[in-house]
Amino acid sequence: MAGINDIVSKIKEQIRETDVDSVHDQWSQSKTSDNRVIIDVRERDEFVDGHIEGADFVPRGLLDLKIENLVPDRDKEIILYCGSGTRSALAAKTLEDLGYNNVASMAGGFTAWKQAGYPVNVAKTLNQEQMSRYSRHLIIPEIGEKGQMKLLDSKVLMLGAGGLGSPAALYLAAAGVGQLGIIDSDVVDRSNLQRQVVHADDRVGEPKVESAKKTIQGLNPDVEVEMFNTRLTSDNVLSIFEGYDLVIDGGDNFPTRYLINDACVHLGIPNVHGSVFRFEGQVTSFVPHDGPCYRCLYPEPPPPEFAPSCQEAGVLGVLPGVIGLLQAIEAVKLLVGIGEPLSGRLLAFDGLKTEFREMKLRRDPKCPACGEDAEFTGFIDYEQFCAVSI
């Protein structure tokens, strides 16, 4: 009867092996390439102690279950490594049996990599409390531990702690977004509580940013909340926006929306836009240089009489929950890098009919903000541009 060493030797004769020098040379040049992927098939404690930077982590015992989601293209080059080259060889044979055509095992494994003096990355990892809190994310192949770490490292700026900002902030905090910035100069009013679920009755009269921070940190102490108890203006927009990965636009007037758009385009920050009116709402994602911006959709603001605020026209209390949660979903997709964001698409919701409609949006090549010849010359007088008072 053949022993395990004999079995491994025979498998190594059947698969393709590569050496650490070749892996280093190829990987150092193409970590962001779509041509290959490198997978660490060791156990989690081994991966945490040190691994090749940029490698995906999938324990050998789960590889056959997760590989299809991680690498759907069976012709893509896959390099596997373990501690010494044995488990990765067995894993390579498994992938070949599953129909993957370009698989290699790194001979000598991570031990040989370290002995060659190549760089070792020590991972930031989830602690046990976080493993429990985000467990439902960790079992989703599209997110997993790697995606959850992206969320924890992310910084999202919320424009407004009102009807849209409330549900978006709650669910982004619950999802583990590491830092939430909140801009709002208003105080909690009892009329807000019909839809602004981040606040509470005993906080009436309290600044909204302080009220929102209490709720968010009570929900998830992992989240750092940065408060901006101020009105967004042309003078402070860049200093506030810089450093954030994504903006949630929960503004309720056109001057603020144009200002948010122009700042996001200038800084290259995705802007997840939402708006509500009575029983209707809409949401889209403006991703700089990957689709249209807000000015492509609305080159000029409509007359004030055609765009009344919620205070003037009213809004069904649960409607901002629907739109705000769609904004939160868009944010998670953009931050983790999964799915198909709403860039170039506007999703409209009719609450009375419970009906969604999708409209295509096109980038305007002559747009003054994101067009081919657009030049940033500073921010305009948005109140005068929109002819309304904010």
Catalytic residues: 310
**φ, ψ for residue 103, nearest 5 deg:** -115, 140
Contact (Cβ atoms closer than 8 angstroms) between residue 356 and residue 291: no
Contact (Cβ atoms closer than 8 angstroms) between residue 244 and residue 158: no
Q: How is residue 369 written in tokens?
A: 């903000």
Query: Within the chain, how many helices (H) and strands (E) appear?
Result: 17, 13
Dihedral sign computed on CA atoms, order 227, 230, 234, 239: negative
Burial classification of residue 78, based on how many CB atoms lie within 10 Å of its CB (0-12 exposed, 13-18 middle, 19 or more buried): buried
CA–CA separation, 342 vs 206, rounded Å?
Answer: 35
CA–CA separation, 230 vs 249, rounded Å?
Answer: 16
Residue 28, CA distances (Å) to 25, 33, 97, 333 in order:
6, 10, 29, 27
